[in-house]
């Protein structure tokens, strides 16, 4: 049976403009970093993407190396686009990136013109689309000039392979330098994608200001701090959790008694607000209107449904913000 999108999908989702640009994004976007690779269950991936769209999530975020294996998350979304979302392409924002290691040799990593353009050509084939809506430089390259990397992004737009460009993991100074080049080129940059959460607040020390002055949006990843800011760790470390695994992104050192105590205190605030801890963390990250969208990850449909409910209660009282800040400072 062919998928038919929920006719009410736009009724409750909040859409925020990317700075002063013409592009709007849903306040919650879906990232395909984990659980959409070739080793994962395709039917579950399809169910998550279509349910997300039914909830008004129009933005799906990828990178060339998402999987595993690398490239397979793009292939998964490409299949879903062809079989389920073919009639809805113009309602979607599809983004991908290049900047981390993708293939052997000197031309498959970082930020050279050679790598970025070749990588996007591969991504378009895997996705089965003529263009992506946003193409990012995934990280700055210490050995390639910012001018070369930004000129490659400009070429990609002029070739019709992307509508907009973005930056990810650039610090405030690097972002300022990149934006200066892109402004001279008149390249349509719309977004910066950094990590940001209650436990990782580096963007508050300059980057958000840079993005605001430039008139671009900020879309954050890891708002739940790799699952730490959920009810997953309220009782310590479950044996089947990411922290207990061999994950390079989260381990037992990240979940200590001090952090568990903090999570418990934050969970109490969430309960008083009628939210889950995950919903509180997403609402908190979106409290600053300069944050355009929060990228969530998911392993099942229920997580997406739960996370989107954060939008039902985005406002905070001054007392709540003060209490949250005290908890975070106490455990910093």
Residue given tokens 């975070």 in the structure block: 328
User: What pLDDT is attached to residue 244?
Assistant: 47
Contact 314, 291 (CB under 8 A): no
- Closest Cα to residue 70, out of 108, 22, 13, 106? 108
Q: Which residues make Cβ contacts (< 8 Å) with residue 175, sequence separation at least 6?
A: 167, 192, 207, 210, 211, 214
User: What pLDDT is attached to residue 239?
Assistant: 53
User: What pLDDT is attached to residue 236?
Assistant: 64
pLDDT, average across residues 181-196: 98
User: What pLDDT is attached to residue 232?
Assistant: 84
Domains of the chain and any CATH numbers: 15-228+278-313 (3.20.20.100)
User: What pLDDT is attached to residue 260?
Assistant: 86
Instruction: Look up residue 31 and give its two tokens.
Output: 């990232």
The helix-helix angle for 42-54 and 72-83 (nearest 10°) equals 60
Residues paired with 16 in a beta bridge? 25
User: What pLDDT is attached to residue 247?
Assistant: 45
User: What pLDDT is attached to residue 253?
Assistant: 54
pLDDT, average across residues 132-155: 98
CA pair distance 195, 202, nearest whole angstrom: 8
User: What pLDDT is attached to residue 258?
Assistant: 85
Q: Which residue has the higher pLDDT, 234 or 272?
A: 272
User: Per-residue pLDDT for 301 more than 70?
Assistant: yes
The chain-wide mean pLDDT, for the chain, equals 94
For 54-108, write each residue's pLDDT tens digit. 999 999 999 999 999 999 999 999 999 999 999 999 999 999 999 999 999 999 9
Contact 291, 261 (CB under 8 A): no
User: What pLDDT is attached to residue 57?
Assistant: 99
Residues paired with 28 in a beta bridge? 294
Q: Which residue has the higher pLDDT, 174 or 232?
A: 174
CA pair distance 223, 284, nearest whole angstrom: 9
Q: What percent of the chain has pLDDT over 70?
A: 94
Beta strands 59-61 and 28-31: pairing type?
parallel
User: Per-residue pLDDT for 237 more than 70?
Assistant: no
Contact 64, 74 (CB under 8 A): yes
Instruction: Look up residue 104 and give its two tokens.
Output: 């052997």
Contact 21, 216 (CB under 8 A): yes
For 156-170, write each residue's pLDDT tens digit. 999 999 999 999 999
Beta-carbon count within 10 A of 82 CB:
12
Distance set, CA 123 to CA 110, 135, 169 (Å): 16, 10, 20
Alpha helices in the chain (DSSP H): 42-54, 72-83, 113-127, 146-158, 172-185, 207-214, 257-272, 277-285, 301-308, 318-330
User: What pLDDT is attached to residue 278?
Assistant: 98
Beta strands 15-17 and 189-193: pairing type?
unpaired
pLDDT, average across residues 281-307: 98
User: What pLDDT is attached to residue 256?
Assistant: 75
User: What pLDDT is attached to residue 249?
Assistant: 46
pLDDT, average across residues 261-287: 97
CA pair distance 188, 154, nearest whole angstrom: 8
CA pair distance 29, 189, nearest whole angstrom: 18
User: What pLDDT is attached to residue 7?
Assistant: 98
- Closest Cα to residue 275, out of 217, 224, 210, 318? 224
User: Per-residue pLDDT for 245 more than 90?
Assistant: no
CA pair distance 45, 29, nearest whole angstrom: 15
Q: Band of the pLDDT at 235, cuts 50, 70, 90? A: confident
User: What pLDDT is attached to residue 248?
Assistant: 43
């Amino acid at each position: 049976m062919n998928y038919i999108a929920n006719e009410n999908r736009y009724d409750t989702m909040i859409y925020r403009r990317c700075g002063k640009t013409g592009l709007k994004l849903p306040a919650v976007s879906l990232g395909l970093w984990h659980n959409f690779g070739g080793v994962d269950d395709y039917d579950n991936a399809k169910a998550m993407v279509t349910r997300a769209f039914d909830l008004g999530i129009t933005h799906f975020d990828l990178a060339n190396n998402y999987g595993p294996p690398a490239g397979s998350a793009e292939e998964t979304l490409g299949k879903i686009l062809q079989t389920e979302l073919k009639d809805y392409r113009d309602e979607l924002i599809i983004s991908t990136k290049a900047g981390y290691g993708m293939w052997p040799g000197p031309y498959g990593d970082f930020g050279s013109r050679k790598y970025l353009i070749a990588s996007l050509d591969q991504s378009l084939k895997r996705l089965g689309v003529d263009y992506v809506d946003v193409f990012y430089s995934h990280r700055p390259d210490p050995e390639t000039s910012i001018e070369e990397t930004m000129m490659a992004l400009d070429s990609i737009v002029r070739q019709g392979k992307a509508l907009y460009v973005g930056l990810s993991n650039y610090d405030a100074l690097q972002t300022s330098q990149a934006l200066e080049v892109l402004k001279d080129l008149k390249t349509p940059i719309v977004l910066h994608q950094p990590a940001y959460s209650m436990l990782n607040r580096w963007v508050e020390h300059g980057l958000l200001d840079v993005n605001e002055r430039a008139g671009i949006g900020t879309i954050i990843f890891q708002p739940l701090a790799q699952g730490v800011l959920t009810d997953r760790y309220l009782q310590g470390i479950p044996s089947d959790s990411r922290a207990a695994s061999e994950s390079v992104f989260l381990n037992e050192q990240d979940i200590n008694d001090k952090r568990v105590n903090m999570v418990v205190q934050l969970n109490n605030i969430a309960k008083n607000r009628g939210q889950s801890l995950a919903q509180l963390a997403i609402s908190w990250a979106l409290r600053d209107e300069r944050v355009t969208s929060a990228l969530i990850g998911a392993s099942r449909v229920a997580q997406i449904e739960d996370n989107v409910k954060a939008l039902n209660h985005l406002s905070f009282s001054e007392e709540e913000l003060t209490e949250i800040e005290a908890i975070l400072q106490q455990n910093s």
